[in-house]
Chains A and B, each alone.
Chain A
Amino acid sequence: MPKKNESVSKPDGSKLHALWEVVALDAFSAPKSSSEQIVRKWDALKRLFQRSTTVGESPFKPESELQQLPHEFVEHLTGPVDWSAPLSAFAATINGWSGTAGEPAVVFMVGPPWSGHAKVLHAWAAALNVPCIKPPTTQDILRNNLDWMAPSPERSQFWIMPELERCYLRHAEGLEMVRSFLEQAMRGIYGPGIIGCDSWAWAYLQYVWPVPCSNVLTLQAFDASRLTRLLRQLSIARSSSRYCFKNASNGKTVLCSDDASTEINATVHQIAARCCGNVGLALSYWRAALRSEPEVPDEEESKKGADSSGDEHIVWLGRLPTSPVLPDECNEEIALLLHTLLLHNGLEEELLHKVLPMPHLHIMALLLRLLELRIVEQVAGRWHIAPLAYSGVCTYLRARNYLLDHFQG
C-alpha cells in the first residue's frame, strides 16, 4: 500500500528528497555517521571506567564566554514545527486506500517519542474534520470496557486515533481491552481508521496481540539534508532577520537562515545521526546547543532585535549536550522504571505502582532523583524520559537486554 513520495531535483541535477516522507516501517533508514558512532562508543567506554576527560582542543569560542539563549528567543529561532506539513506526504502514501473491499481496515502510523507522528495525526484529523478518538480511561482499560469506542453509525466514516499507547496498561488486567479493540478495528467494525502508536508501545504490543505489518507507516528519518532545510525554515518562519548559526568550537558557519546552498555541515550530520533521524529529538539538541555572546541583548532586546528586518544575527552553537549519566547503583530498579516509562510513552505517578514491582514511595524517590539528574521530566502530570536523556537511556536498556523499539536497530 505505501507509495514512494516524490523527490525534488537539486540545482546540480541530483535528487533532493521531500522534507517530509511517509514510508513503510521496514523502509525507515536512520542516518548514520561513523564519527558519531565512534563518539558514542568512546562515551560508553568512558562511562565504563567512570573517568571524566577534558577536551584538549581549544575552541574558537570557549563555552565559558557564551551564554544560554533565553527560552523565548530559542522558541523564536526554532519555533513550532508545522505538523500539517507532512499531511500531503501522508495522503500521497495512502492514496487509494479506503479501508473497504478486502483492504486493511486500519492503517498504523508508528513513530519513536518526539518524532511527531501523533501531532501529524491530530493535525490531519483537524484538517479533514474527522473524529479524533480520545484514549480510554484507566478504568475502561482495567475493566475491558470498549464502550468508549462506540462503532461509527456510518461504517464508512473515517476516524483517527493518534495514541494507541494510551489504550493499554502493562498490567495483568490491562491488556485485554487493547486486544479486543485491535481485533474489532482490524475487522472493520469501526470503519476505516488510522491508528497512531508510539514505537515502544508498538514493540510491546507485538507480544500482546501481534499486528500484521503490511500496513504500518512511519515518517522517514530526518537525515542531515532534511534537518538543515527544516532548521532554515524554522529560523525564517517568524522573522525577517538573517540568522547565521556558527559552530563555537571552530567558528565555521553551520547554516544561515536565508542560505540556499545544499551543503551540509558536519554538526548537522552529527545531530541527525545522534538522534537516529528523530526530528523532535534533533530540535531538542539544536535548541540546547544554541548560545550567544554576553553582549547580545537580553530577553526583551533580543526579541526586538530578532524582529528587526535586514539585520544579521550570529547565534553560536556550543558543544552538543551529552546524555546525563545514569546512576549505576540500584540499576535494576532504575532500568525497570525507565523501560516502563518508555513502553507507555510516559505514565501518571498513580499508575506507576500498578505496573512496577515497587511501592509508590520508592518509585517517587527514584523519580525525584532522576528528575534531579535531568533524566526524566514531568509534563502535564505524566512522567516522561527527558529528550536529551533518551539516547543514553536507550543505550542503558540495550546493554541490559530489555525490549527495544524498532528504531533502535
Chain B
Amino acid sequence: MKYNRANQPVSPNDFTHAAIANNPAWAQLLGLCPLLAVSNTVANATGLALASAFVVIGSNTSISLLRRIIPDIARLPCFVLIIATFTTLTVMLLEAYAFDLYSRIALFVQIIVTNCMILGRAEVFASRQPVGRALMDALGTAVGFALALLLLGAVREVLGQGTLMADMDLLFGPAAAALQLQVFAVPPLALALLPPGAFIIAGLAFALAQSLGSTAKATTPHAEAQKHP
C-alpha cells in the first residue's frame, strides 16, 4: 500500500485532481466549520484561504520530506504536531502583518489545526509521495478550498451587505480599498450574513453541485479512504 505510486513523476493532474474532482469542500465535505463561519465576506474568506493554504502547503511538504523518518506507529501525532506548528506560525504572521483582519477570524485561524482536510492530505498523500507531488497536491487542495470559500463569500457578501470585496485593504494594504464594488445600495437579503443564512446558502450551493454531478457520493474509492478517520 505504501509508496504505491511513488515513482510517478510530478504532473499537473495531481493539482487538478485535488482542486476540482476531489475538492475538499464539495466533494469531500471537509472543513465545513471554517467554510460556513468565515465566508460572510470576501475579505474574511481570502484571509482564511491564505492562512489555510500556508498551513497545508507547509505541512504537506514537511511531512513528505520527513516521511522516511516518522515512525509508522506514531505518525498521526507527528502529523498533528507539524500541522500545529504551521498553524502557530500563521497566527504569528497574521498578528504581525494583518492584525485587524486576524482579529475578525482569529478563532478559525487557530483551529485550522483540527481541519480534517489537512490531516487527510497528510495521511493519504504527503506521507506516501515524494515532495514534488506532495507540493502539487497541497497547492491543489489549497486552491480548491479557496474556490469554495470565495464563491460562498462572494454570494453572501453581495446578498447580505450589497458590496463585493469590501475591506480588502485590511489584507493587502490601503491600495486594495479601491477593489470594493457596490452591487446593491440596499442589501437584498440581510439574513445571508447571519448563521442561518450560511447554512441555507451552503445547502443550496451543495444542491447545485450535486445536480451538476460532482457529488460527495460519486467520489472515487481513493477519496472514500480519506473521509473522516
A interacts with B = no
Q: Which residues of A contact B (CB under 8 A)?
A: none
Q: Which residues of B contact A (CB under 8 A)?
A: none
